[in-house]
Structure 1
Amino acid sequence: MTDGLAPVETPTSLLDTIPTLEPVIRAGLDDLERGILPAEIMRAVEEAGILDVWIPSKVSGKEADPVDWLKAVEAIARIDASVGWAVIVLSGHVRLLTVDHYTRFSELTNGRVLPAFASAPRGRAVAVEGGYRVTGRWPFASGSTYATWHGGVAMVVTEDGTPQMAPNGLHPMMIQVMWPADQGKVVETWDGLGLRGTASHDIEVEDLFVPDGQALLEPFPLRAEHATERVRELGVLAHGTHALGLARGALDEFQRIVASKPIPGSRSAAVMGHTESHRIAFAKADALLRAARSLLYGAVEDALVAAAHDELPMDQRVAIRQANIFAVRSCREVVDEIFKIAGTSAVYRGPVIERAFRDMSTAANHNLPLESSYESVGAYMLTKNSSEGPVSVGTPFF
């Protein structure tokens, strides 16, 4: 590792680093709530090796066990959801780079490739000799203040702004353009209900020259040498494990409050967790969380086995999408229920359960795990055996 980061021995598991990271994260909770993604926290996460797990081994990366990484995201989100979200973005987005792109980017930013980019097509790219002149402003670039690279989707246009059509002639040509973070700017717009410390600000460039080597024409790298590359959904499955950690943190806090000595004179604190309805609600929430976790990790393991020697079958792609959506939607139910039975102890701004409620509400509104995302799963299941083959609706599968 360069840029002054301390070298560390690779732990047996990424989970082994969590006890060391936890006090660092907790020390920055107030800053995170104020909308700051502390560099001290992210530097500690980076030094622990959690941000470079997807770097291809052929360029001296770790390419760690994907299940280990998903569990590390879960463990960090259990401590703080904003840091967990930043980990998803800054490490998971490396999967979108080809080996050639990664090598080039690494040379330009001292070996640190931490990309934050937005998928909304808010940019315009004019083709010029050797690359593109890019102008645009993109929202929701999580991790933007710590990232070493920024990027966004841009429509390729002519000098007069006329869209160029894709080779199939059916839609305008879109490309993913990337640039070193210090060549653009971060516009501090993020003031969300939850996930306040994710630095999900706008990123902006104006008439920036982006060389061809920093334009991603394919949505995913053409690497399929082993199962972790053939299961291209692994990065987005962290949305599910992030939700699992967040919800478990809310359950942990409710248990802690119940076990602690009630505040004198507080009826709600005295009865919390000691009524029949509270006990039933907690047990059901815990069961739902365990079921969601089992389904998600089971689907991941099945997919890795199925992709061991060949492309992942569509049945498995559908199953892991279904499990990911179910995990996030179930975790929202869990956190909502805990917030409800926590009563007035959860309504003041700042306590763990109140923050979990806001964080979970925000995370669950991401477009990937929305309730409507089930439609593509159901459509495939109901039509895959029909004479005309499966019907594709909603967000396409990878």
Structure 2
Amino acid sequence: MHETRAHIAASAAALRDELVPSDDLSRLSDRAADILRESGGMRLLQAKDLGGFEEHPNEFFDWVIQVGTEHPSAGWIAGVVGVHPWEISIMHPLVQEEIFGNDPDALTASPYAPFGRAVRVDGGFRFSGRWPYSTGTDHAGWIILGGMVADESGVPLSPPDVRHFVLPKGDWTIVEDSWDVMGLRGTGSKDVVIDDVFIPDHRVSEAPKMYDGSYARERRPGSPLYQMMFGLMFPAAIAAGTFGVARHAIRAFGDAMAGKVSVTGNAARTSAIQLERLACAEADIEASVAHFRASIADLYAFVDDGGEITLDQRHRFRRDQVRATGRCVEAIDRLFLHSGSTAMGDAHPVSRAWRDLHVASTHVCNNSELTYQAWGAHRFGGPIPPGVAF
């Protein structure tokens, strides 16, 4: 077991204790954030020369799943925030030094949606905008924001010029009370606002070059980890966060079944229907995780052998990834139908786990319909629908 996972295993009880406090705060509690930092898991995808482990991606995804099994919101943050060191490792060396030079454990948030507008000025851009869903921002020292280059009046250029802009803490404002949701409350995925902030050129990356692997080939040609493609790694981090929530839900259902007795005196732990539902759910979730890990391992072995990931491989991975996360949601839904009225209370662990999983399922990277449509269009030679980033 990697040392990062060993730390989470040793801190499991403490992490579980922070689940409800994090939900109540609508952000990750300070103690939960400390446990993630102390584990070192956020550095698993970080380049060695930046103080990271530069590990096989499955080491990172296993860590994310393990965190989420104990604390779903912490696991979601582990995936979303923990994948950023991978991207930063292929950014401009100056921004790498700014972020990690004095603190290899620095955390970075990221709403990538291109809601910002950037106007070119000498040496960089003036940047403004508002973004929802900024996961883990309360504990982040940096943020990556999506935006479009615009003309002097703020109208985006045509064709769109989408970029990623990196800002230090103090350049953005968190909109408190903007994360009032039914599940994953502890992620603190609040809105952030910036107003006419200067961003120097070295903190700006062109999104197409990030997505097509140009930056990775230019800046990290000797490392297979950075040839894995942004359009695979970020959805994979979302999938790992979802798997962690699903495993947490299985535990919640199992714990509830252990002590549940019906009005007729029948124990749930000996009910054929209840046991069948639990067994199928556990098997479906573990099959999904195994399929996901095998797909990642195959792609990593391919690039480690000098291959360049093809469009076909990217579509197939995304197809399989959304099917794996969807299978987890379906499995838990079948269980939920047999959880009984006592599990319907807002504070009940089963209800909380079910809500967390359904919020996780709404992330665009778990959107099966759009992904299947893109895969089908690719398979049969049709146009790829807009909105799918590969």
Q: TM-score, normalised by structure 1?
A: 0.87
Cα drift, residue 396 of structure 1: 4.1
Question: Using the alignment, how far apart are the partners of 1:71 and 1:158 within structure 2?
Answer: 44
Opposite residue 378 of structure 1, the aligned amino acid is G
Contact 1:335 1:356 in 2 (8 A): no
**Matches for 1:285-324 after TM superposition, within 5 Å:** 285-308=281-304, 309-324=306-321
Q: Which runs of 5+ in 2 are unaligned?
A: none
Match in the other structure for 2:339? 342
Once the 2 structures are TM-superposed, how far is the Cα of residue 100 of structure 1 from its aligned partner?
1.1
* Equivalent residues in 2 for 1:1-398, closer than 5 Å: 12-34=2-24, 35-97=26-88, 98=91, 100-106=93-99, 110-165=103-158, 171-188=159-176, 189-219=178-208, 220=210, 221-222=215-216, 223-232=220-229, 233-260=232-259, 262=260, 267=263, 270-308=266-304, 309-372=306-369, 373-383=371-381, 391-396=383-388, 398=390
Compute the displacement of 1:279 (Å). Answer: 2.5
Q: Give distance in 1, aligned partners of 2:6 and 2:182.
A: 32
1:252, CA displacement in angstroms? 2.2
Cα shift readout 1:86-115 (whole Å, capped 9, x = no counterpart) = 111221022222251542332676444321
CA distance in 1, matches of 2:104, 2:58: 25
More helix by share: 2
TM-aligned CA deviation for residue 67 of structure 1: 0.8
Partner SS, residue 159 of structure 1: coil
Contact 1:120 1:138 in 2 (8 A): yes
- The question of whether the paired residues in 2 share the 8 Å contact of 1:237 and 1:324 is answered with yes
Once the two structures are superposed, residues 243-270 of structure 1 have per-residue CA deviations (whole angstroms, 9 ceiling, x without a partner) of 222222222232223333x46xx52884
Residue identity matched to 1:379:
A
Q: What is the TM-score normalised by the length of structure 2?
A: 0.89
Contact 1:239 1:328 (8 Å CA) reproduced: no
| C-alpha spacing 1:110/1:256, structure 2 compared with 1 (3 Å) | closer
Percentage identity across aligned positions? 25
| 1:54 Cα deviation from its structure 2 partner | 1.8
Q: How many Å separate the matches in 1 of 2:19 and 2:28?
A: 10
Aligned-residue offset at 1:296: 1.0
**Bigger CA drift: 49-58 or 79-88?**
49-58
CA distance in 1: counterparts of 2:8 and 2:265, whole angstroms: 31
| Separation in structure 1 between the aligned mates of residue 264 and residue 180 of structure 2, nearest angstrom | 32
Output the CA distance in 1 between the equivalents of 2:122 and 2:265: 68
SS in 2 for 1:236: helix
Change (3 A) 1:368 1:12: closer
- How many correspondences in the alignment? 374
RMSD over equivalenced CA pairs, Å: 2.2
Secondary structure of 1:121's aligned partner: coil
Distance across 1 between alignment mates of 2:58 and 2:185: 27
Change (3 A) 1:249 1:268: farther
Change (3 A) 1:52 1:330: same
Q: Which runs of 5+ in 1 are unaligned?
A: 1-10, 166-170, 384-389
SS of 2:32 mapped into structure 1? helix
